[in-house]
Chain A
Amino acid sequence: MKFSLHWIEEFLDAPPGEDRSRALLDQAGLPVESVEPGKPGGTGPVFDVEITPNRPDAMSHRGLAREIAALSGTPLATPSRELAPPDASGEAVESLASVVIQVPRLCRRFGALLVRGVSAAAPAPERVRARLSAIGSHPISAPVDATNYALWSLGQPLHAFDFDTLRGGMLLVRKARRGETLVTLDGVERRLDAADVVVADAERAVSLAGVMGGLETAVTAATRNVLLEGAWWDPVSIRKTARRHGMHTDASHRFERGADVAAIPEALHLATHLILESAGGTLAPGLLDVRGLPFRIRKTSLRLSRLRLLAGDPRLTLDFAADALARLGFSVERRPRRVMVEIPLGRHDIRLEDDLVEEVLRVYGYDRLPSRLPPTTIPGRHLEPRRLVEEGLTDAAVGAGLYETVGYPFVNPAEEEPYEPWIRTSGGSDSLRIANPLDETRRCLRRTLIPELLDAAGGNARRGRREAALFEVGRAFGREDGDPEDPPSLESRRFGFVLSGEARAHWSETARSRPFDFYDAKGLVERLVEPWIAAEDLQWSAAAMPGFAEGACASVETVAGPLGIVGLVAAAERQRRSLPDASFAAEIWVDRIPTRPRDEAFATWSAFPPIEADLSFAHGPELTWRELREAIRAEGLAHLDALRVADRWEGPGVPDGRKKTTVRLTFRSGERTLSQEEVNGERDRLAAALKSRFGVEF
């Protein structure tokens, strides 16, 4: 919000100058964002001041001057005679016009003055037009500029009616009628809501109260008689009306935040002086001053103990506090250990004792407060243990060479459809929709991280990267068992990754590169969850869904239920993102990982040497490693310590349609060194069993 320094200084007895004023406004919490230097012979520097919504009282030149005076300890100037009632003559306003308030809670005060016989086409005085221009408000005509000038001077919005267009010579403050319409000053016809407050004449609405006047009753060049309105409107009602009609005006901005009911007569007087000065005319004697519900004078107190406690500064005294509050316009009564204050009507932000602490500290200066570290009275810990799981997954993924990404959770639900079976398996519900999205095509919240990761990988592929290995830790939204009254129950924690293109090659390898394969992705899942779940406790099963290639997708479960999905990305999903053929995606449902790491107890080992024995055989393609492994375990070979697949081969040397598997058996005893003969015996026993059970050939 822009303010002219010269205009501010008009309200100050001893203006402290540009730099000091700027520093004082910063200290007051009204920071000057930038300064436009004054032009020679012009109106002086213009401050762009950031004013928080709690300080409508500071949204005027007088408001800022009050702060500068209070913080610098200098007095405000004696009020200008322009704020006093102008000379009046002729018929009294009461006999010419009348005001009735039907909504006393929403309009607490309505003041009006009538200026007759003006030349409304005349321009406002030069100093007024120059100042308005300097702060970016375009001069229009004497009556309109007068109201704007009063607004920026004192913070009280005014409205000027062409009195002769008001039917019945009266103003009625009421709720809009059903179906009532009003063409506002901006030329837009507004269909009014029954909750909107309007100013009406005897027949129709003539102003959307506190927001914008009506076009038909506005002051024009032909206007002879001007009725000025200065009123106080209920903030919540103004805010709802402005929002309903998509409007935001200088007036609504202030009324929404709370205007100062005491400023109404001064603002009306100031505007009238300016009209009389430039457009001529005479003021009808008297102020129409109609009251709604009265304001209660609010009182509160400030204890010295509370001030010192919150400030952390024992140097603060009650004398200082009393003086600071008085300078800010509070009526102060000094008691032994506290001050009692009456709060000025314009300070809607002050309600509690702690608000007064801030007022005193603004005057004192936050920078004068001491600084120290609070004593530690409780030990620190991780209040959400699953964050440690997320951190562990992140560390492992980075250790495995992946890059971490962060994505937006706004999706087009069609993108998630190919992964619907997994979303459902992992507890997801229908998509949650954003009521007011930024982008209509992405109006749902994501339920899986996979599509976004594929998009990111695709972006890198289109930029010519031969590989992408990316992961994200994030939340997905919408859960079948979620309760809308308990927001955390609508979220799940997920970890997703994509491996796409070529596994990174080294110059020394004979093959320049190799594509990622299913086992890279599966192995990464096993490795990631290993701190909490041993690989042998993972149950893998074939899965099928449109988002993954047929026959190359697996779901993984623990005893607690579904944990994750991994697979080759389906051709359609790859192609539309320009992803290479070897693109694998996976997601882990992090909430299903136990927060306690696996057993950390020490386990001893055998001191005797192991003996290895390999067994190679050909078999049909339908025989899986899991079946073989379970059959071998079921054999109960004596002293079998470890079992792994050493090789799986199909091609030259193996009959067409057959596969060759080499199994490596490791035997070891805890009590003695085994002999080669007994190991061979066990191996041969297994060979015979596999032959009779599966028909394998050695």
Chain B
Amino acid sequence: MDNGDAVARVLEAFREASERGVSSRGEFESLKGRFLGREKGLVPGLFGGLRDLPASERADFGARANAAKREIEDAIAAMAEEVSRRESEALARASSVDITLPGRRVRAGAFHPLTLVRRRVEEIFLRMGYSTADGPELENDFHNFEALNFPPEHPARDAQDTFFVDRPAKSPLLLRTHTSPVQVRAMRKHGAPLRILAPGRVYRKDEVDATHSPVFHQVEALVIDRGISMADLKGTVEVFLAELFGPNTHARFIPTFFPFVEPGADIHMTCVFCEGSGCAKCKRSGWIEIMGAGAVHPKVLAAADIDPEEFTGFAFGGGIDRFALLLYGFPDLRLLFEGDERFLSQYSARILGDRS
């Protein structure tokens, strides 16, 4: 057997095989095994006969066999690369998706806008060291009026058209007309110093329309401590309004009358619609009425066994429904109470972000 022919035959066989090509990794592996396999591969086989050759031919044969081996190894390496590339391409084709189709989302629920606003208000006050408190919606005359310095038969009671409950009691039962009875309960239970925030549902006998509802929500802040003044009230209100409505919100304080505060104040803030430049919503004044406030009346403190000479305090409060209306700009308060999915879904997966 001509040893020179053996090298040529192997090369010939390899060129034939590689011309046919491989269509899968399996075919490639068998081709690679046929030529380079350690035990039965054709290329290692060439070197197996080397020892039997006469010394004169060994060097020449060895050189040609080595050249063939390099050629075949290089070609197989290139083929391996090609096979891998084709494989990953196929894999990518198999797992490709239309990424523009909608994802499978967990159902998104919705907090009621009143809850969103209430939580935001609570968060602002909790940061300032207030405690949250609440009380019953079904109250009595004592907590809703008497302890808050509303004398019987006083015209101030007219402003708070009250629903009375038909059940005899020493102090007539009613639906609370404001969150202020929570002040009374908290002061009587916890004494001074005290720093609370009382959000809650309140009731007034108002016919339902776009801006009135017999059920609405208030939030009230109360601070009682030594040395508390109207200046503390002003600072706290300014911080609160700027945190809730944005840093360019300013407050103005106008004297007014509430039986449970003295001095009393109405708080007006920069109109959110025109940012103070004057529009139809604010009657061209640039200001809108937003809350009531004042220094806690000494009779209210005394009714809760707190010495008004040692402790003074302030209280202020406003309507959460109105805050929501100003923040979200919906047109009609009734939307809050109708359970209409077209309204509620607008708050789906929403949080009330920080506006400062």
Contacts and interface: CB of A to CB of B under 8 A. Distances in A.
B339 interface: yes
A387 B134 contact: yes
A504 B107 contact: yes
A400 interface: yes
B93 interface: no
Contact of B114 (A31, A366, A398, A406): A406
Interface residues of B, number: 98
A445 B139 CA distance: 13
Contacts of A371: 231, 234-235, 238
A247 interface: no
Nearest to B297: A354
Contact of B255 (A29, A383, A456): A29
Given A361-B255, A374-B225, A403-B344, A456 B338 contact: yes
Interface string A384-407: 100100000010011111111111
A257 B156 CA distance: 9
B48 interface: no
Interface in A436-454: 436-438, 445, 452-453
B207 A438 contact: yes
Interface string B218-240: 00000101011111101110110
A576 interface: no
A404 B338 contact: no
B111 A394 contact: yes
B138 interface: yes
A53 B158 CA distance: 9
Given A29-B256, A383-B190, A491-B138, A406 B169 contact: no
A354 B295 contact: yes
A459 B225 CA distance: 50
Nearest to A396: B109
A52 interface: yes
Contacts of B32: none
A397 B108 CA distance: 10
B195 A378 contact: yes
Contacts of B153: 235-236, 239-240
Contacts, number: 272
Residue from A354, A377, A457 with most neighbouring chain B CB atoms (10 Å): A354
Interface in B89-128: 101-102, 104, 106-112, 114-115, 125-126, 128
A352 B263 contact: no
Interface string B30-67: 00000000000000000000000000000000000000
Interface in B319-343: 336-342
Interface string B188-225: 00100111100001000101100000110000000101
A583 to B, nearest CB: 14
Interface residues of A, number: 96
Contacts of A484: 167-169, 173
Nearest to A239: B153
A460 interface: yes
A409 B216 CA distance: 12
A457 B263 contact: no
Nearest to A384: B134
A436 B163 contact: yes
B245 interface: no
Given A29-B255, A372-B235, A378 B129 contact: yes
B7 interface: no
A394 B111 CA distance: 8
B125 to A, nearest CB: 8
Interface in B285-344: 295, 297-299, 312, 336-342, 344
B186 interface: yes
B106 to A, nearest CB: 7
Interface string A45-64: 00000001111000000000
A485 B108 contact: no
A512 interface: no
A313 B171 CA distance: 40
A77 interface: no
B227 A378 contact: no
B228 to A, nearest CB: 6
Contacts of B126: 380
B231 A403 contact: no
B262 A355 contact: yes
Contacts of B159: 53
Contacts of A31: 254, 266
A491 B200 CA distance: 14
Contacts of B130: 380
Contacts of A336: none
B254 A366 contact: yes
A484 B173 CA distance: 8
A609 interface: no
B257 to A, nearest CB: 4
Contacts of B195: 376-378, 380
B283 interface: yes
A309 B132 contact: no
Interface stretch (A109-117, A427-435, A622-630): A427-435
Contacts of B278: none
A373 B107 contact: no
Contact of B106 (A401, A406, A470): A401
A439 to B, nearest CB: 9
A387 B197 CA distance: 13
Contact of B254 (A27, A437, A468, A506): A27
Contact of B137 (A240, A257, A475): A475
A52 to B, nearest CB: 4
A310 B139 contact: no
B164 interface: yes
Interface in A498-541: 504, 506-508
A376 B340 contact: no
A383 B128 contact: no
A438 B138 contact: no
B133 interface: yes
Contacts of A239: 153, 155
Contacts of A469: 107, 109
Contacts of A403: 109-110, 112, 339, 341, 344-345, 348
Contacts of B115: 394, 404
A459 B215 contact: no
Nearest to B344: A403
B340 A28 contact: no
A387 B238 CA distance: 27
Contacts of B138: 432, 445, 475, 477, 487-488, 490-491
User: By CB atoms of chain A within 10 A, which of B109, B225, B227 has the most?
Assistant: B109
Contacts of B229: 309-313
Contacts of B137: 409, 475, 477, 491
A435 B166 contact: yes
A46 to B, nearest CB: 15
A506 B255 contact: no
Interface of A: 26-29, 31, 33-34, 52-55, 235-236, 239-240, 256-257, 309-313, 349, 352, 354-355, 357-358, 361-362, 366-367, 369-374, 376-384, 387, 394, 397-410, 432-438, 445, 452-453, 455-457, 459-460, 463, 465, 468-470, 474-475, 477, 484-485, 487-488, 490-491, 504, 506-508
16 contacts: A33-B283, A52-B257, A53-B158, A354-B263, A354-B298, A370-B234, A372-B231, A378-B195, A380-B131, A384-B132, A398-B109, A404-B109, A408-B337, A434-B175, A456-B338, A491-B138
Given A410-B214, A484-B169, 8 more contacts: A54-B257, A240-B153, A374-B232, A404-B110, A408-B215, A409-B215, A437-B163, A470-B339
Interface of B: 101-102, 104, 106-112, 114-115, 125-126, 128-140, 143, 152-156, 158-159, 163-171, 173, 175, 186, 190, 193-196, 201, 205, 207-208, 214-215, 223, 225, 227-232, 234-236, 238-239, 252-257, 262-266, 283, 295, 297-299, 312, 336-342, 344-345, 348
Task: Return the 7 tightest CB-CB contacts between A and B, nearest first.
Answer: A401-B107, A456-B339, A312-B229, A312-B231, A29-B255, A358-B263, A371-B234
